[in-house]
A and B are shown apart, each in its own frame.
Chain A
Amino acid sequence: MPYEALDFYDVDSLLTEEERMVRDMVRDFVDNDVLPKIEHACRDGVFPDEWRVTLGEMGVLGAPLKGYGCPGLSYTAYGVICRELERGDSGLRSFASVQGSLAMYPIWDFGSEEQKNYYLPKMTSGEWVGCFGLTEPDYGSNPGDMITKAEDKGDHFLINGAKMWITNGTIAQVAVVWAKLDGVIRGFIVEKGDEGFSAPEMKGKHSLKASVTSELVFQDCKIPKDRILPGVKGLRGPFSCLNNARFGISWGAIGAAQACFNSAREYSLSRIQFEHPIASYQLIQNKLSWMLREITKAQLLAYHLSQKKDSGEWIPEHISLAKMNNVDIALEIARVARDIHGANGILDEYPVMRHMANLESVKTYEGTHDIHNLILGRHITGIQAFTRGIN
Chain B
Amino acid sequence: MTIAVLLKQVPDTTAKIAVSGGRVDQLSVSKWSTSPYDEYALEYALKLKEAGAGNLVAITCGPQRASKMLTDAAAVGADSMLHILADTSEMDSEQIQSILAAAIRHCEAEIVLCGKQAADTNSGSTGPGVASRIGAACVGMVSEVEVEGGSFSALRASSSGNERVSVSKPCLFTFDKAATELRRPNVKGIMMAKRKVIETVSPQDLGVEIGDSKVNIESQNSPPEKPPGQKFEGAESVPIVVLKLREEANVI
User: Is B187 an interface residue when CB atoms closer than 8 A count as contact?
Assistant: yes
Which of these, A1, A28, A59, contacts B188 with CB under 8 Å? A59
Residues from chain B with Cβ under 8 Å of A1 in the complex: 14
Q: Select from chain A the residue with minimum beta-carbon distance to B191.
A: A18
Residues from chain B with Cβ under 8 Å of A21 in the complex: 71-72, 75, 185, 190, 193
User: Is B230 an interface residue when CB atoms closer than 8 A count as contact?
Assistant: no
Q: How far is the CA of A72 from the CA of B194 in the complex (A)?
A: 14
User: Is A266 an interface residue when CB atoms closer than 8 A count as contact?
Assistant: no
Chain A residues 1 to 39 lying within 8 A of chain B, measured CB to CB, are 1-2, 17-18, 21-22, 25, 28-29
Q: How far is the CA of A96 from the CA of B109 in the complex (A)?
A: 42
User: Is A71 an interface residue when CB atoms closer than 8 A count as contact?
Assistant: yes
Please report the total number of B residues contacting A with Cβ < 8 Å.
14
Chain A residues 65 to 116 lying within 8 A of chain B, measured CB to CB, are 71-73
Interface residues on A, range: 10 to 19
Give the A-B pair count, Cβ closer than 8 A.
37
Q: How far is the CA of A28 from the CA of B181 in the complex (A)?
A: 13
Which of these, A2, A28, A29, A60, contacts B187 with CB under 8 Å? A60
User: Is A292 an interface residue when CB atoms closer than 8 A count as contact?
Assistant: no
User: Is B250 an interface residue when CB atoms closer than 8 A count as contact?
Assistant: no
In the bound complex, do residue A28 and residue B190 qualify as a contact, i.e. CB atoms below 8 Å apart?
no
Which of these, A2, A28, A63, contacts B184 with CB under 8 Å? A28
Residues from chain A with Cβ under 8 Å of B75 in the complex: 21
Rounded to whole Å, the gap between the CB of B181 and the closest CB of chain A is 10
Q: How far is the CA of A1 from the CA of B184 in the complex (A)?
A: 20
User: Is B186 an interface residue when CB atoms closer than 8 A count as contact?
Assistant: yes
User: Is A57 an interface residue when CB atoms closer than 8 A count as contact?
Assistant: yes
Q: Select from chain A the residue with minimum beta-carbon distance to B72.
A: A21
User: Is A376 an interface residue when CB atoms closer than 8 A count as contact?
Assistant: no
In the bound complex, do residue B184 and residue A71 qualify as a contact, i.e. CB atoms below 8 Å apart?
no
User: Is A46 an interface residue when CB atoms closer than 8 A count as contact?
Assistant: no
User: Is A58 an interface residue when CB atoms closer than 8 A count as contact?
Assistant: yes
Q: Select from chain A the residue with minimum beta-carbon distance to B190.
A: A21
Q: How far is the CA of A22 from the CA of B184 in the complex (A)?
A: 10
In the bound complex, do residue A17 and residue B187 qualify as a contact, i.e. CB atoms below 8 Å apart?
no
Instruction: Please judge, given known A-B contacts A1-B14, A2-B14, whether A18 and B194 are in contact too, CB under 8 Å.
Output: yes
Q: How far is the CA of A160 from the CA of B191 in the complex (A)?
A: 44
Apart from the given pairs A1-B14, A17-B71, A18-B194, 19 other A-B contacts in the complex at a CB distance below 8 Å: A18-B191, A21-B71, A21-B72, A25-B184, A25-B185, A25-B186, A25-B187, A25-B190, A29-B184, A57-B186, A58-B184, A58-B186, A58-B187, A59-B188, A60-B187, A63-B187, A71-B187, A71-B188, A72-B191
Q: Which A residues are closer than 8 A to B by beta carbons?
A: 1-2, 17-18, 21-22, 25, 28-29, 57-60, 63, 71-73
A-B contact pairs, 25 of them (CB 8 A): A2-B12, A18-B191, A21-B71, A21-B72, A21-B75, A21-B185, A21-B190, A21-B193, A22-B187, A22-B190, A25-B185, A25-B186, A25-B187, A25-B190, A29-B184, A57-B186, A58-B184, A58-B186, A58-B187, A59-B186, A59-B187, A59-B188, A71-B187, A71-B191, A72-B191
